[in-house]
Amino acid sequence: MEKNEREEIKNQIIKLIQELESEISELSENDKTVAPDNAIGRLTRMEAMQAQNINNATLNNKRKRLIRLKDTLGKIDSPYFGECKGCGEEIEISRLRASPEANVCSECIRQNQKK
């Protein structure tokens, strides 16, 4: 991986972390407003609970991704950053741009899906 590519991915991670942190705090706010007793308006209690479940699932996924991204940021200066855990080749830069936390290349994912 080129130095400038690494720098680019690093900035991308920082940006994603900031976005996720603000999304997470927004979703956590929603969580409070959909308390069971607040099922007002057109939402029934059941609908409010469903909405809350979806909200919680989204929140969990975002939190997990945030942890992975922070972890990735800590490893970005390692000489092994961007190396595929499966085959040891470099992970495609286009893939890293979209998901910097990826640790296997697209080819290995394809191989895994065949199994």
Contacting residues toward Zn ion, per CB under 5 A: 84, 86-87, 105, 108
Please report how close the Cβ of residue 89 comes to Zn ion at its closest, in angstroms.
Answer: 5
Separation of alpha carbons 28 and 109, rounded Å? 33
Q: Which token pair is 102?
A: 């990826």
Give CA torsion, residues 84, 87, 92, 97, to 10 deg. -20
- Rg, Å, the chain Cα set: 19
Please report how close the Cβ of residue 22 comes to Zn ion at its closest, in angstroms.
Answer: 33
Nearer to Zn ion, 1 or 108 (CB): 108
State the residue for tokens 């890293």. 96
Nearer to Zn ion, 25 or 78 (CB): 78
Please report how close the Cβ of residue 99 comes to Zn ion at its closest, in angstroms.
Answer: 14
Nearer to Zn ion, 73 or 108 (CB): 108
